Amino acid sequence: MGIFSKELGIDLGTMFTRIAEAGAVILEEPSIVAVDLEAQKMVEIGRAAQNMLGRVDEDHIQVTRVLRHGVVAYYEYTQILLSQLLERIGGGFGFIKLRPKIMITHPYGITSVERRAVHEAALDVGDAQLIPQPLAAALGVDLPIGTPSGNMIVLLGGGCSQAAVIAMHDIVSAETLRLGGLDLDEAIVTYVRRKYGLIIGLPTAEQVKIRIGAAVPQDQELSIDIQGQDQVSGLPKPLTLTTGEIVEAVEDTLDQIFETVRRVLEKTPPELASDIIDRGIALCGGGALLRGMEKLMTQKLGVPTYLVDNPLTCVAEGACRAQDLYKLLQRNLPQF
């Protein structure tokens, strides 16, 4: 495909922005910027900015995620992040002046003001259309959403969790809970503080979750050695955490997510619900990678749940595919 006819799918996420072209992700960067407050100048974006988290003087350099719980928190920073990422894809040369066709995603059920913020930030860099993330994810994992059968997708991101039932290219019932992987990390921080009187940072908590964490007790218990800071003395102190402890730490947050999925199932017309029981629930998003997540969901909801092949990239890939289906989808998408 020539540079003049670029069609891109962009998944603007709380943790990562992923850009897909021709159905495959070609760029993935943390949705983070570092700004020099005095000079009011962007210092770094993406991975380079992430490396500065917690390591720079916050009075001078602000390192921040541009989204909170899936919605734009810093509009101008989001604009700059998008334009720099797109310029990177185009290899400079004023690529965005050529107005690539962009399909950009947003969480289901956000307000029209929140939707407009995503849309306008994207209009700045191209000819942009919007698509809700569960619909993009369903396209990205090849669910037969153009048929009258019921398809259910659960998307567990870093900032929000979404559950949707889709049929005939339309979202029949859905809900978004503004809780995600970052809240699991926070639950781990709280657990360690309460149990051991030690303070750990969110990045450490995320590492613990990924390396040894699980949603249900595992046959093989893993452990990890970390350093915390003693709440009283302020001194560093080593600590060993085990899988079972993480299961306990994240239990309540996971329960809130399952409640949301359950409500969506309850709102689903019985004919579609029986299709879902036959076909199972497709689980995606980074949170789907927590050990035993599909097992716990199957147990809690009584509906078979399976992990998709491309949990991290399906939203961006589906957004890219949605370009061809836009006329069909448009009838059902929220209008401004």
Write out the residues near Mg ion by the rule CB under 5 A: 13, 157
List the interface residues with ligand ATP, window 250-269 (CB under 6 A). Answer: none
Sole binder of ligand ATP in the list 206, 245, 294, 317 (CB under 6 A) = 206
Which region, judged by CB under 6 A, interacts with ligand ATP, from 36-44, 121-129, 140-148, 202-210?
202-210
16 binding ligand ATP? (CB under 6 A): yes
The reply to whether 46 sits near ligand ATP by the rule CB under 6 A is no
By CB under 6 A, is residue 296 in contact with ligand ATP? no
Distance, in Å, from the CA atom of 128 to the CA atom of 119, rounded to the nearest integer, reads 7
27 sits near ligand ATP (criterion: CB under 6 A) = no
The two three-digit tokens of residue 110, written as one number: 């956000």
Nearest-approach distance from CB 42 to ligand ATP, in angstroms: 20
User: Interface with ligand ATP includes 182 (CB under 6 A)?
Assistant: yes
Asked if 286 is part of the footprint of ligand ATP (rule: CB under 6 A), the reply reads yes
Closest CA to 79 of 107, 45, 37, 103: 45
Choice between 6 and 69, CB closer to Mg ion:
69
Angstrom distance (rounded) from CA 137 to CA 244: 31
* CB 157, min distance to Mg ion, A: 4
Instruction: Decide which of ligand ATP, Mg ion, none touches 289; Cβ closer than 5 to 8 Å per partner kind.
Output: ligand ATP
9 binds ligand ATP (CB under 6 A): no
Tell me the window of 88-96, 145-153, 208-216, 239-247 that interacts with ligand ATP (CB under 6 A): 208-216
Element (H, E) at 256: helix 243-267
Min. distance of Cβ 136 from ligand ATP in angstroms? 11
Parallel, antiparallel, or unpaired: how do β-strands 170-177 and 161-167 relate? antiparallel
Least gap, CB of 12 to ligand ATP (angstroms)? 8
Tell which residue, 35, 2, 318, has the closest CA to residue 166: 318
* CA atoms in the 13 A half-sphere facing the CB of 325: 21
Residue whose pair of structure tokens reads 């085990």 in the numeric block: 242
Regarding 150 and contact with ligand ATP (CB under 6 A), the answer is no
Residue with the two structure tokens 């369903």: 138
| Structure token digits, residue 265 | 């199932």
Bridge partners of residue 238, in order along the sequence: 227
Q: What is the rounded CA–CA span in Å between residue 329 and residue 170?
A: 7
